[in-house]
Structure 1
Amino acid sequence: MNRPRRADAADNRERILEAARAVVATADEVRLNEIAKRAGVGQGTLYRHFPTREHLLAEVYRQDVDELVATAPRLLAEHDPVTALTRWLDRLVEYARIKHGVFAAVEAGVRKDLSAHSLGPIGDALTTLLDAGRAAGTVRPDVDARDLILLVGYLTRLEQDEWDTRARHLIRIILEGVRSRG
């Protein structure tokens, strides 16, 4: 039986996840003691929530995937399709930075499991955005989610020191290629 977490335990868990996300996005090496320190918790608290580094990083990754996927319909409700796609791809840049850090820090088997978890939902969210753009006549009819996933996959090849200058620039180039010229 899964009981709800106590408020302080839930707060600790969220602080650990936020600290882990920050470390993954900026550090060359993911160290659990650094994550615990940033989160303001002891090692024991960290390990109670996440027994291994892989458990913690997998949860950071899964949480980012879930947030990214949930963003697509919200953006479409608030913006025209191209603006929604643009903002979603901006969010994807941050997701890719976390993915790159997580994948660098976990074993090959964990990477494969995490990729399997994300590819379908991300493709579905992207298809929703592209379909809305095609219906509005602002997205090329010959572009699909797989095209964009392959192109955006190259973000993982960026070095950390060039991320801020190149990632969003590359997304803008991709967006120009996706837009309908009609």
Structure 2
Amino acid sequence: MPASRRPRRADAQRNHDLLVAAARRLFAERGPEAPLDDVARDAGVGNATLYRHFPTRRELLIAVYADEVSGLTAEGEALLAGAASADALFAWLRTFITHVATKRDLAQAITDDRRRTVLFDEWHTAMHATAGALLARAQDSGAVRPGVRTADLMALANGIALATTGPPQTDRLLDLLRQGVNEVEPAQLRP
């Protein structure tokens, strides 16, 4: 089994997790250019441990962003198992909007190349699959009209994330979106 595919030892996994958590905090506070020495210090490990896990800043940025996407999909799965269908969908969309609004710099800091494109395609697919499952459940329950498409809902959520000035406006626009997907008759929706 290649080294990259083998499960990590418990101590190595703990250090990896500590580094990702520290990087997430520092990148949120100071941006994706936060000093890596500070990330190692905040994680309670040495620089050598940091570079053993993440040879470049780019690798650390990828790990942090991948962890954010995993958190979004996990939240969607939890909501599918619990909350009422429309509430689950719009709770997840709220989290997604916050993600887009606050993680944009992190995503853009991952330098552009072929691997970035592949990663972003995987992340995009995972987020759309989560939204799609939540939307299908809401449509099946009659809480959201049948003509609403996942891609359209995600585009609207992205627009809210990029255009709003803060949580009050985000909440207002998300409420308008929720009303819109409930009140328009299916016959009025263009194909």
**Same fold by TM (over 0.5)?**
yes
Matched, 1:131 2:136: yes
Please say which structure displays the higher CA radius of gyration.
Answer: 2
Q: Percent identity?
A: 33
Alpha carbons of 1:112 and 1:140: their partners in 2 closer, same or farther (altered >3 Å)? same
1:56 paired residue number? 60
Q: 2:63 and 2:172 mapped to 1: Cα distance?
A: 29
Q: How far off is 1:71 after superposition?
A: 2.6
Select 1:39's aligned residue among 43, 46, 61. 43
1:153 paired residue number? 158
Query: Could you tell which deviates more after superposition, 132-141 or 88-97?
Result: 88-97
1:141 paired residue number? 146
Select 2:87's aligned residue among 76, 83, 90. 83
1:93 counterpart letter in structure 2: I
Select 2:13's aligned residue among 10, 14, 18. 10
- Are the equivalent residues in 2 in contact too, given 1:65–1:122 (CA < 8 A)? yes
Q: Where does structure 1 lack aligned partners over 5 or more consecutive residues?
A: none
- Are the equivalent residues in 2 in contact too, given 1:13–1:49 (CA < 8 A)? yes
The aligned length equals 180
Q: Deviations over 1:84-131 (max 9, x none)?
A: 112212321343245413223221225533321112121111111111
- Are the equivalent residues in 2 in contact too, given 1:140–1:178 (CA < 8 A)? yes
Alpha carbons of 1:124 and 1:24: their partners in 2 closer, same or farther (altered >3 Å)? same
Q: 2:19 and 2:13 mapped to 1: Cα distance?
A: 10
Alpha carbons of 1:29 and 1:115: their partners in 2 closer, same or farther (altered >3 Å)? closer
Query: Could you tell which deviates more after superposition, 28-37 or 13-22?
Result: 28-37
- Are the equivalent residues in 2 in contact too, given 1:15–1:39 (CA < 8 A)? yes
- Are the equivalent residues in 2 in contact too, given 1:100–1:156 (CA < 8 A)? no
2:123 counterpart letter in structure 1: S
Select 2:105's aligned residue among 101, 115, 123. 101
Q: How far off is 1:146 after superposition?
A: 0.3
Alpha carbons of 1:88 and 1:40: their partners in 2 closer, same or farther (altered >3 Å)? same
Alpha carbons of 1:45 and 1:118: their partners in 2 closer, same or farther (altered >3 Å)? same
Q: How far off is 1:156 after superposition?
A: 5.8
Query: Could you tell which deviates more after superposition, 132-141 or 27-36?
Result: 27-36
Alpha carbons of 1:65 and 1:29: their partners in 2 closer, same or farther (altered >3 Å)? closer
Query: What TM-score results when the alignment is normalised by the length of structure 2?
Result: 0.79
